[in-house]
Amino acid sequence: MIIQPLQRTIEHYVSHPELGTDFTVQAKALAAFFDLRERLEAGELRAAEPDPGTPTGWRVNPWVKQGILLGFRLGVLEQSGSGGLSFVDKNTYPARHFSAQDGVRVVPGGSSIRAGAFVARSVVCMPPMYINVGAYVSDGAMVDSHALVGSCAQIGKRVHLSAAAQIGGVLEPVNASPVIIEDDVLVGGNCGVYEGGVIRKGAVLAAGTILTRGTPVFDLVRGEILRATPEAPLIIPENAVVVPGSRAVGKGKGAEWGLSLYAAVIVKYRDEKTDLSTTLEDLLR
């Protein structure tokens, strides 16, 4: 992998012993950070990017995440807004502003997109929703009401994040993979994907599905149990249809009391009938 000059600069200032005391060093570090932030917003840099040569098909760029954290170290608290609606945050991460020429629909009603996030043309943002720093939201995606795209999360083309869907952020540790939602995935209402989960293209998460690093996923079609490992995150296969389910407790008081624990279940793989049930997404764009 080619190490670009900006990477060298960011890594230099992240570990610079005088970052907190020398104003000249701070100014140079801040200039490097603003360069990084601008490239993130343009989609030229990403916290993670596709790489067929890796086991997950994705490569994390730790230096980009280091640069994002550098922005928090260098920033100072600043008040913004006016009247009764005011905010206090680091001045290095204001809310982004869009124009009609950007081709992004940000519907009125309390949404916010933080500086350092990439949002492609044709993305639709329904209020209120939030996209955090380092996130990458690709063409034709919809971020519905009360949905969250966490820091450094990667959202593919034509993804629909339904109302109250939560896509967790993974900023630290810097070498940890963020949550990745690949192209043409439908994430149902009140779903949650956390701790670096990878949802392969075309998958469907039914409403209420929660996926964490510790969540076992029972594949009824292939007769497998999918789990994260110390080396790899939880990966949902391409075109899988995942629904919230339960599994009985087999021993002890749990069995005696007839208790069940949450489990995610793959009940089928996406086909033409499943696609017909999601055509509403096209009408909303």
8 Å CB contact between 206 and 224: no
Q: Does residue 17 sit within a domain?
A: yes
Q: Does residue 258 sit within a domain?
A: no
Q: Kindly report, residue by residue over 72-100, the tens digit of the pLDDT.
A: 999 999 998 877 778 899 999 999 999 99
Closest CA to 124 of 140, 147, 113: 140
Task: Kindly state the average pLDDT of the residues 253-257.
Answer: 95
Which letter does DSSP use for residue 95 in this model?
B
Q: Does residue 93 sit within a domain?
A: no
Q: Does residue 19 sit within a domain?
A: yes
8 Å CB contact between 123 and 104: yes
3-class state of residue 212 by DSSP: coil
Phi, psi (5° rounding) for residue 86? -130, 160
Q: Does residue 37 sit within a domain?
A: yes
Q: Kindly report, residue by residue over 206-244, the tens digit of the pLDDT.
A: 999 999 999 999 999 999 999 999 999 999 999 999 999
Q: Does residue 10 sit within a domain?
A: yes
Task: Kindly state the average pLDDT of the residues 162-183.
Answer: 95
Peptide bond connecting 55 to the previous residue in cis, omega within 30 degrees of 0: no
8 Å CB contact between 126 and 143: yes
> Does 176 have pLDDT greater than 50?
yes
For residue 115, give Cα distances in angstroms to 36, 131, 136, 148, 163: 11, 9, 12, 15, 23
pTM for the full predicted model: 0.93
Q: Does residue 173 sit within a domain?
A: no
Q: Which domain holds residue 39?
A: 5-46+62-77
> Within 10 A of 145 (CB to CB), how many other CB atoms are there?
19
In the chain, the N- to C-terminal Cα span, in Å, equals 38
> Does 194 have pLDDT greater than 70?
yes
Total domains present in the chain: 1
Q: Does residue 178 sit within a domain?
A: no
> Does 271 have pLDDT greater than 90?
no
Q: Kindly report, residue by residue over 123-162, the tens digit of the pLDDT.
A: 999 999 999 999 999 999 999 999 999 999 999 999 999 9
